[in-house]
Structure 1
C-alpha cells in the first residue's frame, strides 16, 4: 500500500533548516541529507505499519547516516510527518505537535 505524504509546517521547516546547516558544513552534504530523509520517507510510504508506535498513534523511522528520526502518524491513506528531528533534541518538542 502506497500512501500520500504530507509534512506539517514545523516538520518541513526543521527539515529545510537541517539541510541548510549540513550544506554549510560541506558542499553537497545538504543534498545528501535530503536524499537520506527522502529515502526513509519513501520506505514509510510503502508500508507505514511496519514502523513502531512510540507515542500515542505516532510512529518513528530513522535515517541511516544522519542522527535524525522522522515522526509521523497515519490518517487513512495519508502519512502526516510531524517532525524531522535530531536525536539530541528534547523529545517534548515534537510530542507537543501530537
Structure 2
C-alpha cells in the first residue's frame, strides 16, 4: 500500500520532470528522517495517527508512533478524501 502510494506520487512528478521527481524523493526522505527522529513533534489527526507534510509538495505521510518503531501507513495527496486514510491503522 505505502509502496504503491509513493510510486504513484513519484511517477506523477517524474512524468513532469525527472528533476522534479528527484526533488520530491529528496523532500520525502528528509521528512522520513524528521519523523523517525522526533515523531512526537507531529500532530495527531485521529487516535494515535499522526501526519507529517512533505516540504514544498502537497503530500502527507500518515504514521503511528509505536514503542519500538514508527509505522508509515500511507502517503496521500493533501487534497485527497481523508475518510480513507484512517482505514490503514495497525
- What TM-score do you get using the length of structure 2 for normalisation? 0.92
How far does residue 78 in structure 1 lie from its aligned partner after superposition? 0.6
Q: Which of the pair is proportionally richer in strand? A: 1
Q: Deviations over 1:10-43 (max 9, x none)?
A: 1221111110110001122111111101101100
Corresponding residue to 1:44 among 23, 35, 59: 35
Structure with the higher helix share, 1 or 2: 2
Q: Shift of the alpha carbon at 1:45?
A: 0.7
Structure-2 residue corresponding to 1:5: none
| Distance of 2:3 and 2:47 partners within structure 1 | 22
| Structure with the larger RCO, 1 or 2 (CA within 8 Å, 6+ apart) | 1
Stretches of structure 1 lacking an aligned partner (at least 5 in a row): 1-9
Show structure 1 runs of 4+ deviating over 6 A: none
